[in-house]
Chain A
Amino acid sequence: MSVLRPFKATDMFKFNHINLDLWTETYGINFYLSYLARWPDLCSVEESPNGRLMGYILGKAEGAGTEWHGHVTALSVAPEYRRLCLARKMTAQLERVSDETYHGFFVDLYVRCTNAIAIGMYEGLGYSVYRRVREYYGSLGLGRNSKDEEDAFDMRKPLSRDSLRRSVRSNGREIVVSAHDVS
């Protein structure tokens, strides 16, 4: 049971238990505010009935022409609220708004190539690898394959406007671009 509601600036006082997790970065307040000041409808939280935040999503709309799309910038769920399909609910909301409000062609997101669990989850949500981006992430190589960890998959899911599914391709894993080529 959870409540889906907009992310508010004052939620920054309440997201510690989500952000203290290793894989979630806490950015400066200007980062959150700049998202909220432009795309508040692409930022939402899942809250438990007692008012505790469970997870949040931050997104934006960007790109020109047929590249106009919704983008998932951050998606995080506190450890104790995992395995409850919260990520699915929050991305579904972001996809709905990207589709109906922004009329984007697709939604995309970046994920570490080594993060098999996340990749599997996104595939389950209808995303597929569009390309591999070299050295997208900084040097957070904590695991054994630190080289691999720096690379990201750009994963995409077409929206209703892309009825011909031009924004996805089946051989995305083999297409490699450098981090300079993506914004």
Chain B
Amino acid sequence: MSAAFERQIRPVYEALDTGSNKSAVLACNKLLKKHPKNELVKALKALALIRSQKVEESLVLCDEVLASRPTDESTLSAMMHVLRGLGRHTDMVTMYEDAFKHQPGNEELGSQTFMANVRIGNWKAAQQIATKMHKQFHDDHYLYWSVMSAVLQANDPTTPPNMRPILYKLAHRLVTSSGTPSYFSADRFYLHLTILRELQLYDEAFELLEHEVGKAICAASLACDELRREIWKAKGLCKEEGARARERITAEKDRNWLEFLSVVDAAFHDLGSSPTSASDEVKTTCAESIAAARELFNQVAEEDGTRDRTGRLALLELEKRAWASGLSDDPAEMRRLLESYFNRFGDKAVCFEDLRPYISLEGDVLTAWTSFLKAVPSTPETRDDLSRYMNAQKLLRYNLSTSEVTSEAEAACALQYFSSYLDALKFGKELPDTELQPADDLALLSGQAFVGAWKAGGEAVHLYQAAAVLEYASSRSKQSYLIRLLLIRVYRLLGASSLALEHYRAMSVKQVQTDTLSHLILTRASTFSLSSIGDLTYSSECLESSQIYLTNSQETAEFTVRAFGSEKYTQVPEFISFEERLDNSLQRDLTKIEHVRMRISHEPVSSDLVDMELIELKFIFDRFHHDNRDFDVIPNYQPRCGPTFNEQTTLFDKSPGSGWLSIFLKIYIKIFQCASDLDDTVEDKLLIGDRPKPSLDPENKAPLKERLAKRKQEEFDELTADELAFFDYAMALSDWLAPYHDYIRPPPSAVLAEAAKQTELKTGFPLKGVELPKNGSATNGHAKKDKDEEPPAVSAPPDSLSKYFDDMSLRFKEALESDRLPSELLHLVTLTQEALILLSIETWRFKPNSVIKQHKLGAMVQSFKELRTKASAVLNDMSASLVKLGEEGATIDSRKAFVEACKPVWAESGLDHDFVSTISKKVTESRKQVLEGVGKGILRVLKNHA
């Protein structure tokens, strides 16, 4: 590059760096006039174009540069960004491979080629390049790259199982061939150990670990020590590990729970897996080791006092296992240990969680434990007293029996908790707004008990009471996300969805949390969405929550590359698994489905909508999903004899999972397939970039048509009765009309020609890779293209279609009469509306008069009309009922009724009556908003799809 040229091109880089893509394009154009063949300028222009969303124009330039097989580093590096932006990672690999072949002595190019393969998980090629580089440049880290790549290839699901041991053996050979031992760094050592573990070469691993350097590494590296533990265990060194742990506990004062578990495991080791059949001799030695462990833990517990609770908990764990193996005969021993733990650590918030695994007691022991807890003073004098009291209440509640969990008893409990809460607020009086109130947990208990009362008796007033109590607590402890979580769940049941959203937003969920937490408001969000009247709040929430997946696919692989660069082999597999789990997140696609459902209630049917969604849903249908949703974040203080709080407040008692997703994918893929002109051959030509990796599930190997037709009970189990009816309706609808669509749909060549025409109009360039037959007429493929073939005979719609609307109407009326929750009413209504929209999408192709005439579809169209009339009548009624309900629910009288229902909460507690009144206003207004909105939205939808 000449100095003059370098000076000229600098402004382009500067413009790109500052995000002024437009001026970058202009600067490139200027340069291209002088240097029309310059690849670097073209590459930079392509980059600026992508960044200004001009994908088609960028594609043309990108292909030109690729065709020239660039080798200079600036062009390659610009192209790397271009190809990444286009998602063409495979092309990136080819580009670097070509360049490296051209300059085999260029080490940097070699590394880039390796990394390009890493980005797309092409481990086989990566391994070969790294081996080659090691031979050529004699640097050990290339050898370890190759070792890591071999291991990753072995672990890759696409690798046949019989190849795995071969690859691990290869990795082993490579690692032992190294001039420097793996002791060089903890990460290399770790990689070496994983290989030995996989090959079950425990003796070899043991030797390394027992070496002085090995010991030193394990002492500092938690990751290596974790592996060491596993290897010792696998080698059957359970007792030795126990002795080692004992040493660490006493000499090093190590309080890692894993060490204590090792001591416990060692004590029971001789018993094996079936303690009952052990000989008396074994039992005796075992009892001795248990006694020794007990002595050790007692000693630790005494020594640590209240500083560390590990010793005391180890005693509980030991007793639990001894009891389970029949080596403890005093049922009261557990209770004594529990009590002594409680006496020491009852003032720690963690006490309840610590003890929960050990308190599944029965009979006299339970009675004694209960009375112990009941004796904890209910009028705390200090914050520590308060903690003890709260822990006692949680522990007591956990062991309530079924007969104690009636609606009345739960409501009484809730009031008791709330009154204690109000008393205990004094402990947090002086705290700034930014702190949590020490008494918060009592409010949570109260809210959960009210929900328990609702669940036991079915009266919605208890949900109002829960809302009132929790709102009050939230106003006192503004930063408590736990209170907000409970409120979100209660509000969704009550149909006050805007309030649920408000609380969700106040938690400022962001970044990766949107994957794990958006289920709180996006699960079945279309039930509450007002997109039909143009309110896109939920739609945009879906889009915002989905940002993280884009970030993941753009960024995470770069860190895998970095981890290779810094030789952090502990991290490489973790990053890959993280990327994969986020990319194939269940919530991602549940959100996607909800977004589609909202979109069709808002937008008119168009080929853009149908085609784009179809392509995307088909990709999703191939995925193997990971459920990253965090439900554990929702606190649970419900009695162990019944469902958890999360289960109790799940909308319609059914939590959508991968089965639910599969059903809705089947519905929409089938419907969109009918309406779309795209078939697989067309789709393939129109898509740019890499395709998602297909899932390896053998079931996914079957043709799409078969997979769509497959019915599985476990999938149905995730649906509500109404969703199931909706599914049947959608299947009947698409099965009925599919033959007519297939007959009328234009042939692929015509579809492609149209697409090419549109692209050319847009970009001025012909569509790449599509060669059209000169005459543009239909020549390929479809059997139906025989012009003489008769159109399929007119058939009457299956009865089930019309019946669906009748049934939904009936179920809605029943629900209205039996005073069901607003969320349940909305569920029925939105599913009925969705059915009408499906009908509209399915019959969209048959709308033009010319089509009707040409294919003699007059009779068919008549039956569409009849169905539509039926649906309209049903939906009009529903609309009127919802609007009326919304209005009635938000009058002064109904607000008074809400306040009256909450009387037990405020009447005697001294809670401000006005506060409850404000809440009543908020709840009823929010509910009115959604009932009225959905009601009026129906009319809009009916008009749009008339």
Contacts and interface: CB of A to CB of B under 8 A. Distances in A.
A64 interface: no
B633 A17 contact: yes
B349 A82 contact: yes
Contacts of B548: 29
Contacts of B511: 26-29
Interface in B550-602: 551-552, 555-556, 559, 562-563, 566, 568, 570-571, 574-575, 577-578, 581-582
A165 interface: no
B350 A16 contact: no
Interface string A124-159: 000000000000000000111000000000000000
B633 to A, nearest CB: 5
Given A37-B563, A41-B186, A80-B350, A85 B256 contact: no
A30 interface: yes
Interface stretch (B217-225, B523-531, B655-663): B217-225
B222 A34 contact: no
Contact of B226 (A6, A80, A143): A6
B512 A13 contact: yes
Contacts of A49: 257, 261, 357
A50 B313 CA distance: 13
Interface in A38-93: 38, 40-41, 44, 48-50, 52, 79-85, 89, 93
A29 B308 contact: no
Interface string A98-118: 001100000000000000000
A89 B353 CA distance: 20
Given A4-B222, A9-B577, A26 B630 contact: no
Interface in B156-176: none
Contact of A33 (B436, B575, B633): B575
Contacts of A1: 257, 260, 309-310, 313-314, 354
Interface stretch (B193-201, B410-418, B513-521, B902-910): B513-521
Contacts of A89: 255
Contacts of A27: 511
A12 B578 contact: yes
A13 B577 CA distance: 12
A80 to B, nearest CB: 5
Interface in B599-645: 628, 630, 632-633
A80 B307 contact: no
A9 B575 contact: yes
Contacts of B313: 1
A81 B433 contact: no
Contact of A38 (B357, B516, B568): B568
B510 interface: yes
A161 interface: no
A138 to B, nearest CB: 15
Interface string B259-300: 011000000000000000000000000000000000000000
Q: Interface size bucket, A side? A: 35 or more
A29 B434 CA distance: 26
B574 A9 contact: yes
B425 interface: no
B507 interface: yes
A20 B633 CA distance: 10
A13 B314 CA distance: 29
Contacts of A23: 434
Contact of A10 (B348, B507, B578): B578
A2 interface: yes
Q: Give the interface size class of chain B.
A: 35 or more
Contacts of A179: none
B630 A8 contact: no
B256 A3 contact: yes
A22 B434 CA distance: 8
A168 interface: no
Interface string B193-211: 0000000000000000000
Indicate the member of A23, A80, A82 with the most B CB atoms within 10 Å: A80
B258 A16 contact: no
Contacts of B219: 100
B179 interface: no
B348 A36 contact: no
B20 interface: no
A36 B570 CA distance: 9
B512 A12 contact: yes
Contact of B559 (A20, A33, A100): A33
B183 interface: no
B308 A85 contact: yes
Nearest to B440: A79
Contacts of B257: 1-3, 49
Contacts of B433: 142
B438 to A, nearest CB: 11
Nearest to B479: A22
Contacts of A79: 349, 436
A89 B259 CA distance: 15
A122 to B, nearest CB: 18
B222 A93 contact: yes
Interface string B890-928: 000000000000000000000000000000000000000
A38 B349 CA distance: 35
B559 A97 contact: no
A9 B350 contact: no
B588 to A, nearest CB: 13
B555 A30 contact: yes
Contacts of B432: 142-144
A28 B350 contact: no
Contacts of A143: 432, 434
Contacts of B350: 48, 80-81, 84
A167 interface: no
A100 B220 contact: yes
Given A3-B256, A37-B562, A13 B581 contact: yes
Contacts of A12: 512, 578
Contacts of A44: 222
A113 to B, nearest CB: 15
A6 B256 contact: no
B574 A81 contact: no
A81 B351 CA distance: 10
A169 interface: no
B256 A4 contact: yes
Contacts of B562: 33-34, 37-38
A40 B349 contact: no
B441 to A, nearest CB: 9
Nearest to B316: A1
A89 B255 CA distance: 9
A164 B91 CA distance: 57
Which among A37, A89, A97 has the greatest number of chain B C-beta atoms within 10 A? Answer: A37
B628 to A, nearest CB: 5
A2 B515 CA distance: 27
A41 to B, nearest CB: 6
B552 A29 contact: yes
A19 B310 CA distance: 25
B481 interface: yes
A3 B222 CA distance: 11
A33 B515 CA distance: 17
Given A29-B551, A89-B255, A10 B571 contact: no
Contact of A41 (B221, B255, B309, B434): B221
Q: Which 8 A-B pairs have the closest CB atoms?
A: A9-B578, A33-B559, A20-B481, A37-B562, A1-B257, A1-B313, A9-B574, A22-B479
Given A5-B226, A143-B432, 5 more contacts: A26-B510, A37-B571, A40-B187, A84-B348, A142-B432
17 contacts: A13-B516, A21-B479, A23-B434, A29-B551, A29-B555, A37-B559, A37-B571, A37-B575, A38-B568, A40-B568, A40-B570, A41-B220, A48-B350, A49-B261, A84-B309, A84-B348, A93-B222
Interface of B: 186-187, 216, 219-223, 226, 255-258, 260-261, 307-310, 313-314, 348-350, 353-354, 357, 432-434, 436, 479, 481, 507, 509-513, 515-517, 548, 551-552, 555-556, 559, 562-563, 566, 568, 570-571, 574-575, 577-578, 581-582, 628, 630, 632-633
